[in-house]
Chain A
Amino acid sequence: MWIYEKKLEYPVKIKNPNPKMAKVIITQYGGPDGEMAASLRYLSQRFSMVTPQARATLNDIGTEELAHLEMVGTMVYQLLKGASIEEIKEAGLDPYYADHDRGVYPISAAGTPFTAAYIQSKGNPIVDLYEDMAAEQKARATYEWLINLADDPDVIDPLKFLREREVVHFQRFGEALRIVQDYLDCRRQFAIPKPKGME
């Protein structure tokens, strides 16, 4: 189970509304490499993961991603709060406004609603951990493009924190993969253990 804690993992305090930034940052809320996909991916994969280390890694990184989801949602909320209709129109957010006003809804930067098709849970520990390492790198790159698009230190600061967490998670998943490969004794083959009957 989970227990909600009434604080953010890292503070988000954005003074000036900026619907243009909200429009792109929302992709880390409900986009293909966003935090919702990350948390669902790891929390779903953990059920069939092997080794205590890798199981705990998926469980706890999946949990931290929920805290990141909250941070990104907070950023979108604060960037939209107080934005005028003119600013929203100018940012090209009028289609979003028509459906959601200034609410937070999980979509990508291009407006695609969140879908579980962004994630995989393959039931094979090697497959899943490779996916997870790739996912962390994709999220890191996304945060870098978002930092390139931002000019407000209030926005850049939490984005830098989130980017750094992707780097740490990648490292931890790499360690988990090595542990699982040792466990499955297939380290040198870089291969997936064959199913029963196909050895």
Chain B
Amino acid sequence: MDSNREELLKQLSAVDFTIIELNLYLNTHPYDQNALVRYNTAVAQSKMLRSEYERCYGPLTAYYSTSGYPWQWICNPWPWQYRFNFTLAGEEC
């Protein structure tokens, strides 16, 4: 179960990083239509992965996310805890 969570988190992190990168790029290249299409595609992908992650593993925000009972936001692990994260060390991109 935890390896599923890590895999899903990895996919979500990759898509969200794409969004951050395109966001910064588009700020100084607002007329790049190709980049804009890629940005919009990544946002749609992120929405799907996000709702899948939240359905299985709890809220990613205490703002846009709904929670099961009891209040799920306070549940461990938090991002700074060792077991929260997946590893990319040793993997070549």
- A residues near B (Cβ < 8 Å) are 3-15, 52-53, 56-57, 60-61, 64, 70, 73-74, 77-78, 81, 153-154, 156-157, 168-169, 172, 175-176, 179
The answer to the question of B9 belonging to the interface, with a C-beta cut-off of 8 Å to chain A, is: yes
Report how many residues on chain B are interfacial, defined by Cβ distance under 8 Å.
Answer: 33
The contact of B88 among A3, A5, A52, A157, by CB within 8 Å, is A157
CB of B89 within 8 A of CB of A70, answer no
Interface pairs A-B: 9 shortest CB-CB: A175-B28, A11-B85, A157-B89, A74-B80, A56-B27, A13-B85, A153-B89, A13-B87, A3-B63
CB of B27 within 8 A of CB of A11, answer no
- B residues near A (Cβ < 8 Å) are 9-10, 12-13, 16-17, 20-21, 23-25, 27-30, 59-64, 73, 78-80, 82, 84-90
If the complex has contacts A10-B13, A13-B85, A168-B24, are A153 and B61 also in contact, measured as CB distance less than 8 A? no
Taken together as a complex, chains A and B put the C-alpha atoms of A8 and B9 apart, in Å, by: 10
